[in-house]
Amino acid sequence: MHHCARAWGLYRPAAMRVLGIETSCDETAAAVVDADRRILAERLFSQTREHAPYGGVVPEIAARAHLDRLDALVGETMGEAGLGFADLDGIAAAAGPGLIGGLLVGATAAKAMALASGRPFLAVNHLEAHALTARLTDGLDFPYLLLLVSGGHTQLLAVEGVGRYRLYGETEDDALGEAFDKAARLLGLGFPGGPAVEKAAEAGDPARFRLPRPLAGRPGAGFSFSGLKTALRRAAEALPAPGEQDVADLAASFQAAAADTLADRTANAAAMFRRDCPAGRMLVAAGGVAANRHLRARLQEVAAAHGLVFAAPPPRLCTDNAAMVAWAGLERLRLGGRDGLDFRPRPRWPLVSANGAP
């Protein structure tokens, strides 16, 4: 029967499948993806409620929450996918950069499952997972220009292959997501900050407050956001009793300044990318901040002005998730990659040295 089906061309071995685990910050997540770019199942638990009273992520609370939830999330994910561990080709976990307590929980769980099932373990760089997500969602080919904007990172780079990244510029101080979070706190918009600022900005006038566009007009593709943050605080403190409209105007003005800065720096990087990778056609945004609709619209304009096409994963796959970890693991696995069970999670793990590069 098997033999017959194969002879008639009906038989096709199941596409490679990888389970991914994400625990590097405050999302506990598990997902299974396959080489045909399908997300077979996914589960995500956001620890927003656990951290909200503190106005930010508390590492110890995060680690404990991951420990409480992860087993059940993995079980539900495998159940929904209808798979046993024997059906997997690899088990991947984000192993850095991030909060070490959470990384240890996720990586140790993945190692244990890999050991028990005899499947390869993959220690995934969380930034690489963001960087490769557009290949899962949009099937992109290498190379592409990537703007990676998250809570911990802001950088522009050429993605030339799995493990092959050319850095054009990164932030000298705050990451943009961090700046959004601080802006939200300052404006009393709560936690998590990015989505709250975006929401408040909808009803605001982006031209009311003249906030700086740090580094705009200067050569290079670096970033700086601390001056913008300070300027926002000054503008807010100059208002005697800020009302709802004031807050909306401040949020909109902040978001507009962030968008102008991203556009300026990305335009410079686009010129470098066209020089280095003349065959490249795409500008990709990834990371939590790339969920912002206003920023996405601006980046689309920048791409068009530089002969590039803009792509970004859907917002739920821009913010932290396990499908991206599973996918990055799968990309490395099919190139022959795997990691030892002695791999130590890394709180710091720059992308340019991801996966074996010096």
Q: Which residues bind Zn ion (CB under 5 A)?
A: 150, 320
Element (H, E) at 55: none
Cα–Cα distance, 22 to 110 (Å, whole number): 10
Residue 181 found at the interface with ligand KG4 (CB under 6 A):
yes
Closest by CA to 338, choosing from 97, 23, 123, 116, is 123
Asked if 33 and 77 touch (Cβ cutoff 8 Å), the reply is no
Residue 128 found at the interface with ligand KG4 (CB under 6 A):
no
Residue span binding ligand KG4 (CB under 6 A) among the ranges 150-158, 163-171, 229-237, 268-276: 150-158
3-state SS assignment for residue 78: helix
Asked if 28 and 47 touch (Cβ cutoff 8 Å), the reply is yes
By a kind-dependent CB cut-off of 5 to 8 A, residue 192 interacts, out of Zn ion, ligand KG4, none, with ligand KG4
Residue 180 found at the interface with ligand KG4 (CB under 6 A):
yes
Name 146's bridge partners.
157, 284
Which C-beta is closer to ligand KG4: that of 192 or that of 345? 192
Residue 280 found at the interface with ligand KG4 (CB under 6 A):
no
- The per-residue b/e assignment along 330-354, b for 16 or more CB within 10 angstroms, e otherwise, is bbbbeeebbbeeebebbeebbbeeb
Residue 195 found at the interface with ligand KG4 (CB under 6 A):
yes
Mode of pairing for the β-strands spanning 39-46 and 144-149: unpaired
Residue 148 found at the interface with ligand KG4 (CB under 6 A):
no
Smallest distance, ligand KG4 to C-beta of residue 177, A: 3
Residue span binding ligand KG4 (CB under 6 A) among the ranges 10-18, 105-113, 284-292, 326-334: 284-292
- Residue 13, CB half-sphere, CA atoms under 13 Å: how many? 6
The only residue of 194, 206, 329, 345 in contact with ligand KG4, by rule CB under 6 A: 194
Residue 292 found at the interface with ligand KG4 (CB under 6 A):
yes
The only residue of 20, 143, 214, 288 in contact with ligand KG4, by rule CB under 6 A: 288
Smallest distance, ligand KG4 to C-beta of residue 200, A: 11
Token output for 73:
């999330």
Asked if 321 and 44 touch (Cβ cutoff 8 Å), the reply is yes
Find the DSSP H helices in the chain. Answer: 2-7, 48-51, 59-81, 100-117, 126-138, 176-186, 193-201, 226-237, 244-276, 293-305, 315-318, 323-333
Residue 198 found at the interface with ligand KG4 (CB under 6 A):
yes
Which C-beta is closer to ligand KG4: that of 195 or that of 242? 195
Residue 291 found at the interface with ligand KG4 (CB under 6 A):
yes
Smallest distance, ligand KG4 to C-beta of residue 194, A: 2
Which C-beta is closer to ligand KG4: that of 18 or that of 189? 189
Total residues contacting ligand KG4 (rule CB under 6 A)?
A: 20
Residues that bind ligand KG4 (CB under 6 A): 25, 150-152, 177-178, 180-181, 192-195, 198, 287-289, 291-292, 319-320
